[in-house]
């Protein structure tokens, strides 16, 4: 989606109208000017019991009409009593009459506009210099469902949604502690998107918090439509192929990272939460590792370590070995391979690139296609990467196997965004292997490892645990330590906090 | 601050991209050889060509579907035949192997790839004229494997390469399987060269010959060990003499039968060697060499028709004593044959002597090793142990007699 920058930011759009006048009637007029051609903004005028005129301004579809009727209009129209002999409307008398819970007063145009756009109902008595904002928000939102992209067999089935309030409540329901802090920041010159910085006080380090806040403050985007926008602004190295923030749609994952002293960034309008700092090992951990028994977790974790190498190097090693180092393949295997390759017109390198590109195309097509035609992709896919391709004489059977194995291996990575980078990095390494053999493969691999070693996420080395080596983290890298061994306190120095052990509230929810 | 961070990786990316583009100009260069450009050699056979030269036969894998020459039925009582199921042979001759290789490459449409040649078969004729001059090629040239197995063939090596095995896909596999089946048959080129250049200067290799199977087919099989002394094939040791070499080389899974003398061969106790410890202690008194060999075979009973009840400790002991004698006789005879008939130290005793009497070895023994070996005395002690009496206790024969 391309965001066309509008000609003028909001503030400049109607400078003349942005002035707050002491006359309520004037203010309503100004607002009408600001919102001309906005058919969804409702200006509703009515009079109090005493005959005073007032305007109710709200965005259609974001306000609970019943509540406004019951707690604003009805009391004002039937029970309003002027407490002084003066002509104007006093703040106190209005406040007394309103039965709504959340009522605030405002005296700047800026505030009023912003609040109204975020769903508040604005009440402006014509004879007052004050505006009232009443919170009676109700708009259509998606219900909390299981995130499709991060499903688990065992574990909670709720996921973040597009609404900020639902998301913060999902976190608060898991961590019932006053130490869970949620700080809002508004970013996006046009969209005025709320970004919530969520962290555990005392667990998250001060420097980390300051750094995150500093980077969030530096965001100068016109619009923020998804947490992806924020993610790209927060990264340490925007040119790295590796994701430097962990993303999740699962509140349980977010909570577990919060309890490990990390910071969660929620963006209004996006069901994807960002977690900082992200470590390489966290990308290879699935919440289910912790929910299932620890043997299972350990084995699955090692399966992932193995498969990320396969996903990255599988086709490259195949290409290198088959075009340079034929003596490395067991005799029985190379004889079958030679037989299979006898009909193939392309060199192994071209064959590998062709098949990998086809596989990526299929994956992309599968992700973009409407659900109704989704099954067509799998049918075509089976033909392209399968028996038909072999009998057409375009590719050899071992190549199909390599591509299939690589494909499966790349989908084992539990975090999709790391899977993408691994899948993309395959291609340069295949090229290198095709030109230089195993030397090329190793060159590519060493280049990647070197890059990973220099990479940092919010000042924390990306490979923390492995390099720099942390023996305390090994119990969560080499094995998945049983949860009863240590009360879930994990790694990094920030977490060596005495308060946590005394905090009973954490223990109940401390999975992760 | 933001700007600065952007510029540096940008240059890296550009230079990386240029490097990748430059690499594309390298295709076809360097040493990239696709699998389909190779002719994969599975085995090589060396024969003497009749006028002082050498003839090399290469068994080449045929990658195209259906194989070369079609499948041959195994029941034809024929040696060789027209190529294997999926292999074919090329051969050429010349004064040296290096020369022959050049000839062969000219004959063959694809590049000769030695990486999977795991068997070298040397004919008896060529071997009796000397092998080291040919092994120099295999060792010096980088492509052939030095871990390939060596077989000495009775007759023409090329005939063996052309035969069709019954179990395996090609002859190379058959030879590999033969090599794997016994430790003393698994002699690689490297090991052979090591043995020949070692203290004893004597090597052995499996001697493969044609034998007719029950179906009437001629199949290659190993029945004896070829002795190669000072790079020449001098003869073979078969039967119990080969068993002696196997015993002293620590071979496992051997069957040794002890039979009552004078009685029917049914009264035998057959034992299977599970583990074999050998302790060789040379003794040199300045003039004569005495070889003290202690053998500790651990054996399982696999068939028992003898009078001994091997589940009974006392009788087992009796049986062990008898077995000791039997094994001792086998080893003694084996050593004696090697001393008298071949004057070749097949057992590698020279190494043990060298190790114990290093000074004397260099001063006197080395020069006269052949003579000393011939006059060498042996003291052989066998202490066998029947560790496993088998799955049944009583002899079935006894039940039948009752």
Q: Work out the average pLDDT over B72-79.
A: 39
B242 belongs to a structural domain = no
Give how many domains chain B has, as a whole number: 2
Residue A339 near chain B (CB below 8 Å): yes
B315 belongs to a structural domain = yes
Answer left, alpha or beta for residue A42, where phi above 0 means left and psi between -120 and 50 means alpha: beta
**Nearest-by-Cβ selection for B36 from A327, A342, A431:** A342
Handedness of CA A61, A66, A68, A69 (dihedral sign): positive
Question: CB within 8 A of A205, min separation 6: which ones?
Answer: A261, A494
Which chain B residues in 280-319 lie under 8 Å from chain A, judged by CB atoms?
none
B13 belongs to a structural domain = no
Q: How far is CA A464 from CA A278, A460, A472, B169, B295, in A?
A: 10, 7, 11, 52, 58
Q: Measured between alpha carbons, how far is A92 from A406 in angstroms, rounded to an integer?
A: 70
Q: Does residue A428 sit in helix, strand or coil?
A: helix
CA–CA min distance B220, chain A (Å): 21
Measured between beta carbons, the chain A residues lying within 8 angstroms of B40 are 326, 334-335, 338
CB B314 within 8 A of CB B201: no
Give the DSSP H/E element, type plus range, for residue A194: strand A193-200
Question: CB within 8 A of B156, min separation 6: which ones?
Answer: B45, B47, B123
Q: Measured between alpha carbons, how far is B56 from B96 in angstroms, rounded to an integer?
A: 10
Q: ipTM strictly over 0.85? A: no
Residue A322 near chain B (CB below 8 Å): yes
pLDDT confidence of residue B85: 55
Contact A339 B65 (CB under 8 A): yes
Contact A341 B115 (CB under 8 A): no
CB B95 within 8 A of CB B54: yes
B230 and B257 in one domain? no
pLDDT confidence of residue A271: 93
Residue B391 near chain A (CB below 8 Å): no
Measured between beta carbons, the chain B residues lying within 8 angstroms of A316 are none
**Burial environment of residue B382 by CB neighbours within 10 A (0 to 12, 13 to 18, 19 or more):** buried
B284 belongs to a structural domain = yes
pLDDT confidence of residue A497: 46
Q: Report the candidate in A273, A265, A102 with the shortest Cα–Cα distance to residue A184.
A: A265
CA–CA min distance A494, chain B (Å): 28
Answer left, alpha or beta for residue A308, where phi above 0 means left and psi between -120 and 50 means alpha: alpha
B65 belongs to a structural domain = yes
B103 belongs to a structural domain = yes
The domain boundary, picked from B210, B237, B264, lies at B237
**Nearest-by-Cβ selection for A331 from B30, B65, B116:** B116
Low-confidence ranges of chain A (pLDDT < 50): 1-13, 488, 490-512
**Helices within B67-216 (DSSP H only):** 97-107, 124-129, 132-140, 157-162, 171-181, 189-197
B56 and B201 in one domain? yes
Residue B26: other Cβ atoms inside 10 A: 12
B9 belongs to a structural domain = no
Q: Measured between alpha carbons, how far is B125 from B15 in angstroms, rounded to an integer?
A: 63
Q: Measured between alpha carbons, how far is B149 from B159 in angstroms, rounded to an integer?
A: 18
**Nearest-by-Cβ selection for B9 from A239, A334, A348:** A239
Q: Measured between alpha carbons, how far is A285 from A427 in angstroms, rounded to an integer?
A: 25
**Nearest-by-Cβ selection for A327 from B24, B86, B115:** B115
B203 and B78 in one domain? yes
Q: Report the candidate in A193, A166, A168 with the shortest Cα–Cα distance to residue A181.
A: A168
B209 and B274 in one domain? no
Contact A239 B10 (CB under 8 A): yes
CA–CA min distance A357, chain B (Å): 18
Encoding tokens for residue A331? 């005799």
B277 and B215 in one domain? no
Q: Does residue B356 sit in helix, strand or coil?
A: helix
Contact B40 A335 (CB under 8 A): yes
* B94 DSSP β-pair partners: B54
The domain boundary, picked from B212, B237, B262, lies at B237
Confidence grade of residue B262 (pLDDT, cut at 50, 70, 90): low
B85 and B228 in one domain? yes
Q: Report the candidate in B161, B184, B182 with the shortest Cα–Cα distance to residue B173.
A: B161
Q: How far is CA A204 from CA A156, A200, A484, in A?
A: 25, 6, 23
Q: Measured between alpha carbons, how far is A408 from A28 in angstroms, rounded to an integer?
A: 61
pLDDT confidence of residue B79: 41
Higher per-residue pLDDT: A381 or B145: B145
pLDDT confidence of residue A496: 46
* A180 DSSP β-pair partners: A200
Residue by residue, what is the 3-state secondary structure of B248-266?
A: HCCCCCCEEEEECCCCCCC
Which chain A residues in 231-270 lie under 8 Å from chain B, judged by CB atoms?
237-239
The mean pLDDT value of chain B amounts to 82
The domain boundary, picked from B213, B237, B261, lies at B237
Confidence grade of residue B237 (pLDDT, cut at 50, 70, 90): confident
B342 and B200 in one domain? no
Closest chain B residue to A328 measured between Cα atoms? B115
pLDDT, tens only, B293-342: 999 989 888 888 888 888 888 888 888 888 888 889 889 999 998 888 88
CA–CA min distance A277, chain B (Å): 19
Q: Work out the average pLDDT over B16-33.
A: 70
Closest chain A residue to B13 measured between Cα atoms? A239
Residue B52: other Cβ atoms inside 10 A: 8
Closest chain B residue to A427 measured between Cα atoms? B20
On the question of pLDDT at B68 being above 70, the answer is no
B332 φ, ψ (degrees, to nearest 5): -60, -45
B24 belongs to a structural domain = no
Residue A326 near chain B (CB below 8 Å): yes
Q: Measured between alpha carbons, how far is B40 from A69 in angstroms, rounded to an integer?
A: 89
B78 φ, ψ (degrees, to nearest 5): -140, 135
Residue A428 near chain B (CB below 8 Å): yes
Encoding tokens for residue A162? 């597009």
Q: Measured between alpha carbons, how far is B344 from B370 in angstroms, rounded to an integer?
A: 7
Chain B interface disruption, residue of A241, A339, A443, most B CBs within 10 A: A339
pLDDT confidence of residue A377: 77
Parent domain of B75: 30-237
Contact B38 A326 (CB under 8 A): yes
pLDDT, tens only, B98-112: 889 998 988 888 889
User: Alpha-carbon Rg of chain A, whole angstroms?
Assistant: 29
pLDDT confidence of residue A507: 45
Q: Is the peptide bond before B239 cis (omega within 30 degrees of 0)?
A: no
Give the DSSP H/E element, type plus range, for residue A473: helix A471-477
CA–CA min distance B182, chain A (Å): 21
Q: Measured between alpha carbons, how far is A80 from A50 in angstroms, rounded to an integer?
A: 7
Percent of chain B with pLDDT over 70: 87
Q: Measured between alpha carbons, how far is A444 from A467 in angstroms, rounded to an integer?
A: 19
DSSP string, B31-73: T---GGGEEEEEEEEEEE-SSS-EEEEEEEE--STT-SS----
B92 and B53 in one domain? yes
Measured between beta carbons, the chain B residues lying within 8 angstroms of A428 are 20
Contact A341 B20 (CB under 8 A): no
On the question of pLDDT at B56 being above 70, the answer is yes
CB burial of A435-453 (b: ≥16 within 10 Å; e: otherwise) equals bbbbebbbebbeebeebbe
Chain A interface disruption, residue of B42, B63, B114, most A CBs within 10 A: B63
Q: Report the candidate in A486, A505, A504 with the shortest Cα–Cα distance to residue A496.
A: A486
Residue A497: other Cβ atoms inside 10 A: 16
Encoding tokens for residue A171? 């976190």
CB B41 within 8 A of CB B60: yes
Q: Does residue A506 sit in helix, strand or coil?
A: helix
Say which residue the tokens 């080596």 belong to.
Answer: A469
Tallying the residues shown for chain B, one arrives at 402
Rounded to 10 degrees, the C-alpha dihedral B307/B312/B316/B319 comes to -10
Residue B166: other Cβ atoms inside 10 A: 12
pLDDT confidence of residue B260: 66
B325 and B204 in one domain? no
Task: Fill in the DSSP letter of residue A464.
Answer: T
Contact A435 B6 (CB under 8 A): no
pLDDT, tens only, A393-439: 888 889 999 999 999 998 888 888 898 899 899 999 999 898 888 98
Residue B38 near chain A (CB below 8 Å): yes
CB B85 within 8 A of CB B71: yes
Percent of chain B with pLDDT over 90: 8
Q: How far is CA A481 from CA A498, B220, B231, B232, B389, in A?
A: 21, 58, 62, 65, 48
B207 φ, ψ (degrees, to nearest 5): -105, 115
Entry pTM: 0.80
Task: Fill in the DSSP letter of residue B365.
Answer: I
Residue B385: other Cβ atoms inside 10 A: 15
B340 and B214 in one domain? no
Measured between beta carbons, the chain B residues lying within 8 angstroms of A335 are 40, 61, 63, 86, 116, 169
Q: Measured between alpha carbons, how far is B151 from B187 in angstroms, rounded to an integer?
A: 8
B303 and B181 in one domain? no
B284 and B214 in one domain? no
Which chain B residues in 125-164 lie under 8 Å from chain A, judged by CB atoms?
145
Q: Can you give the CATH number for the domain in which B262 is found?
A: 3.30.300.210
Contact A338 B35 (CB under 8 A): yes
Closest chain B residue to A333 measured between Cα atoms? B116
């Amino acid at each position: 989606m391309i965001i066309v920058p509008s000609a003028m930011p909001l503030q400049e759009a109607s400078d003349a109208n942005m002035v707050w006048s002491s006359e309520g009637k004037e203010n309503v007029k100004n607002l009408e000017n600001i919102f001309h051609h906005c058919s969804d903004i409702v200006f509703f005028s009515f009079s109090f019991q005493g005959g005073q005129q007032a305007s109710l301004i709200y965005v259609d579809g974001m306000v609970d009409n019943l509540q406004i009727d019951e707690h604003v209009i009805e009391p004002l129209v039937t029970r309003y009593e002027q407490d002084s002999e003066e002509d104007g409307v006093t703040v106190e008398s209005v406040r007394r009459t309103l039965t709504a819970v959340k009522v605030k007063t405002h005296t700047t145009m800026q505030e009023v506009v912003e609040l109204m756009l975020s769903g508040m109902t604005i009440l402006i008595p014509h004879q007052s210099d004050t505006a009232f904002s009443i919170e009676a928000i109700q708009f259509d939102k998606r219900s909390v469902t299981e995130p499709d992209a991060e499903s688990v067999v065992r574990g909670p089935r709720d996921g973040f949604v597009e609404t900020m309030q639902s998301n913060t409540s999902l976190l608060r329901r898991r961590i019932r502690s006053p130490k869970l802090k949620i700080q809002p920041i508004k970013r996006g010159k046009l969209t005025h998107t709320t970004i919530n910085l969520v962290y555990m006080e005392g667990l998250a380090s001060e420097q980390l918090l300051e750094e995150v806040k500093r980077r969030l403050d530096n965001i100068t985007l016109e619009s923020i439509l998804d947490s992806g926008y924020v993610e790209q602004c927060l990264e340490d190295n925007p040119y790295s192929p590796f994701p430097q923030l962990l993303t999740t749609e699962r509140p349980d994952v977010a909570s577990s990272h919060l309890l490990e002293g990390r910071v969660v960034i929620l963006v209004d309008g996006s069901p994807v939460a960002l977690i900082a700092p992200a470590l390489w090992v966290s990308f290879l951990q699935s919440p289910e590792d912790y929910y299932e028994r620890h043997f299972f977790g350990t084995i699955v974790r090692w399966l992932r370590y193995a498969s990320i190498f396969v996903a990255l190097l599988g086709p490259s090693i195949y290409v290198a070995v088959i075009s340079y180092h034929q003596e490395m393949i067991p005799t029985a295997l190379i004889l079958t391979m030679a037989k299979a390759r006898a009909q193939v017109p392309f060199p192994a390198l071209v064959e590998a690139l062709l098949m990998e590109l086809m596989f990526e195309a299929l994956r992309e097509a599968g992700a973009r296609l409407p659900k109704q035609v989704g099954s067509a992709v799998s049918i075509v896919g089976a033909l392209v990467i399968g028996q038909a391709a072999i009998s057409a004489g375009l590719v050899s059977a071992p190549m199909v196997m390599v591509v299939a194995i690589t494909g499966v291996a790349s989908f084992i990575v539990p975090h999709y965004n790391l899977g993408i980078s691994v899948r993309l990095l395959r291609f340069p390494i295949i090229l290198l292997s095709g030109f230089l053999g195993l030397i090329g493969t190793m060159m590519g691999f060493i280049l990647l490892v070197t890059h990973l070693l220099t990479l940092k996420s919010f000042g924390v080395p990306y490979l923390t645990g492995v390099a720099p080596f942390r023996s305390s983290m090994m119990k969560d890298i080499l094995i998945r330590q049983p949860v009863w061994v240590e009360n879930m306190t994990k790694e990094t120095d920030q977490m060596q906090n005495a308060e946590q052990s005394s905090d009973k509230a954490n223990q109940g929810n401390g999975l992760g | 601050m933001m700007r600065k961070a952007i510029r540096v990786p940008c240059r890296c990316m550009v230079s990386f991209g240029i490097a990748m583009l430059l690499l594309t100009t390298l295709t076809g260069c360097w040493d990239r050889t696709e699998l389909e450009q190779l002719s994969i050699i599975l085995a090589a056979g060396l024969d003497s060509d009749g006028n002082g030269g050498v003839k090399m036969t290469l068994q080449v894998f045929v990658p195209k579907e259906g194989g070369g020459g079609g499948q041959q039925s195994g029941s034809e009582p024929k040696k060789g035949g027209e190529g294997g199921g999926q292999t074919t042979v090329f051969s050429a001759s010349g004064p040296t192997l290096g020369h022959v290789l050049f000839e062969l490459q000219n004959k063959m449409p694809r590049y000769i790839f030695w990486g999977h040649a795991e068997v070298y078969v040397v004919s008896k004729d060529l071997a009796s004229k000397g092998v080291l001059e040919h092994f120099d090629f295999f060792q010096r040239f980088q492509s052939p494997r030095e871990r390939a197995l060596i077989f000495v063939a009775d007759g023409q090596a090329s005939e063996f390469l052309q035969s069709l095995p019954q179990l395996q896909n090609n002859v190379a596999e058959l030879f590999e399987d033969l090599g794997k089946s016994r430790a003393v048959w698994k002699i690689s080129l490297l090991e052979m060269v090591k043995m020949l250049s070692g203290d004893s200067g004597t090597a052995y290799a499996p001697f493969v010959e044609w034998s007719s199977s029950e179906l009437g087919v001629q199949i290659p099989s190993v029945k004896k060990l070829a002795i190669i002394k000072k790079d020449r094939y001098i003869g073979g040791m078969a039967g119990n003499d080969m068993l002696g070499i196997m015993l002293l080389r620590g071979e496992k899974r051997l069957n040794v039968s002890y039979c009552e003398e004078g009685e029917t061969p049914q009264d035998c106790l057959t034992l299977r060697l599970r583990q074999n410890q050998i302790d060789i202690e040379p003794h040199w008194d300045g003039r004569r060499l005495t070889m003290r060999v202690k053998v500790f075979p651990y054996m399982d009973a696999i068939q028992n028709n003898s009078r001994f009840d091997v589940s009974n400790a006392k009788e087992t002991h009796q049986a062990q004593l008898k077995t000791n004698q039997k094994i001792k006789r086998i080893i003694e005879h084996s050593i004696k044959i090697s001393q008298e008939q071949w004057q070749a130290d097949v057992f590698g005793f020279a190494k043990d002597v060298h190790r114990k009497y290093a000074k004397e070895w260099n001063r006197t023994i080395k020069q006269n090793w052949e003579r000393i070996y011939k006059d060498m005395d042996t003291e052989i002690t066998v202490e066998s142990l029947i560790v496993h009496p088998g799955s049944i206790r009583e002899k079935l024969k006894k039940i039948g007699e009752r």
